[in-house]
Amino acid sequence: MPSTFLNGVLVILILAGARVVLAVLNTPRNVRLTSINMNLVLRWDSSAEGTSDLLYTAEAKTSVTMYRVGCVNTSALECDFSSLEFPLSLYGRYTGRVRAQQGPESSPWVESNNITMDIDTIIGSPSVSLFSNGAALVISIEDPVFAISTLKDVYSTATYNITYWKDGQSEKARNISSVLQNRVVLNKLDPWMKYCVQVQINAGERREGNSKFSIPSSTVCESTTSEAEAPWVPAVVTFFIMTLTATLVVIALVYRKRISHLLCPQEALPSHLLETQNSPNDWTMQISDQPEEKYNSVKVIADNKSMEQRKVIGKGAVCLLQDT
């Protein structure tokens, strides 16, 4: 009897143990820690195909700290630590780990590879704009945006490698290396020709004497024109015109009366002509005995305001002046 009881207990324990083993979830696969532009992202593949109710928990640590939780109960197959309140160091060495969960059951932790941020991060491509300036081309370069810090803060010796060629003649491309400025002018180009440009960042030597390069930029193309024009010429001309206009307006406001008198002089008609306005017949009598001469008729009209206003007609212009 005791042996039968013991055998029964043993069978139950074996079955229970088998159930516990069977209840363990499969671990996530292909776990890898990646970094692009100084971010930190842990990625993995699902632990079981066709299972949609699996959740994951991901953690990360440095070489001198313990694991810290990043993402909890996420259905995504990645965890971006740089988008969380997770302390990141520019030169830190990181390791990640992840496990699958389904209800009360969970898989063992799976650790990722190690990466050192400044050495292993992938530098994205710079943004390049190309402008025509006569027979020259102006290249404007913008660094990729980093999740923490900036390109020049992390890689203080970073330079640009510029490659340019005539459209359709990439096999004859020319290179300019170790450029420090993010604005470069390409001179001595053929007029009325389309050129293409590509830029790559050289972050300098990082490991085993090898240089670290960014992803090359997209190729941009632009055509030159006939003659080069200094970029400051339009600005100087515009400034000169605006200054001259403002000066003329000020002079016109300050000396408006003098200018008005100069353009329309207040000269009265001769007195003997003004006297004839009251006796037009006397003028006719004086010239009745004179030989006939060719003349133009002049008619002078005065109002009762004692010539306060005079209308002077000459050379097609009319000026209305008032005595002050």
Mean pLDDT of 56-62: 96
Can you tell me whether residue 4 is helix, strand or coil? helix
Mean pLDDT of 276-305: 54
Rounded CA Rg of the chain: 46
Domain ranges of the chain: 20-120, 127-223, 236-322
The 10s digit of each residue's pLDDT in 233-263 is 667 778 778 888 888 888 877 777 676 666 6
Q: Judge: domain 20-120, CATH 2.60.40.10.
A: yes
| CATH H-level superfamily of 127-223 | Immunoglobulins (2.60.40.10)
Can you tell me whether residue 300 is helix, strand or coil? coil
What pLDDT was estimated at residue 249? 83
What pLDDT was estimated at residue 254? 77
What pLDDT was estimated at residue 312? 43
More confident position, 274 or 261: 261
What pLDDT was estimated at residue 246? 85
What confidence tier does 182 reach under pLDDT thresholds 50, 70, 90? Answer: very high
**Domains 20-120 and 127-223 agree in fold:** yes
Q: Which residues pair with 102 in a beta bridge?
A: 105
How many percent of the chain have pLDDT more than 70? Answer: 67
Q: Assess whether pLDDT exceeds 80 at residue 46.
A: yes
What pLDDT was estimated at residue 107? 94
Taking the CA of residue 319 as centre, how many other CA atoms within 13 Å lie in the half-sphere pointing to its CB? 15
Q: Assess whether pLDDT exceeds 70 at residue 271.
A: no
More confident position, 62 or 235: 62
Residues in the chain: 324
What pLDDT was estimated at residue 240? 79
The tokens for 56 are 């994951």
Q: Assess whether pLDDT exceeds 70 at residue 313.
A: no
Among the ranges given (3-12, 48-57, 98-107, 170-179), the one the predictor scored with the smallest mean pLDDT? 3-12
How many percent of the chain have pLDDT more than 90? Answer: 53
0.95 exceeded by pTM: no
For 70, residues 6+ apart whose C-beta sits below 8 A from its C-beta are 42, 58, 59, 60, 79, 81, 84, 86, 96
Where are any strands of DSSP class E within 3-126?
29-34, 41-45, 55-62, 68-74, 78-80, 93-102, 105-106, 110-116
Give the chain's mean pLDDT.
80
Among the ranges given (36-45, 140-149, 220-229, 260-269), the one the predictor scored with the smallest mean pLDDT? 260-269
What confidence tier does 267 reach under pLDDT thresholds 50, 70, 90? Answer: low
What pLDDT was estimated at residue 305? 47
Q: Assess whether pLDDT exceeds 90 at residue 322.
A: no
Q: Assess whether pLDDT exceeds 50 at residue 216.
A: yes
Is 19 exposed, middle or buried (CB count within 10 Å of its CB: 0-12, 13-18, 19+)?
exposed
The tokens for 279 are 């006796």
Consecutive H or E run containing 251: helix 233-254
Measure the CA–CA gap between 80 and 43, rounded to whole angstroms. 9
Consecutive H or E run containing 320: strand 317-322
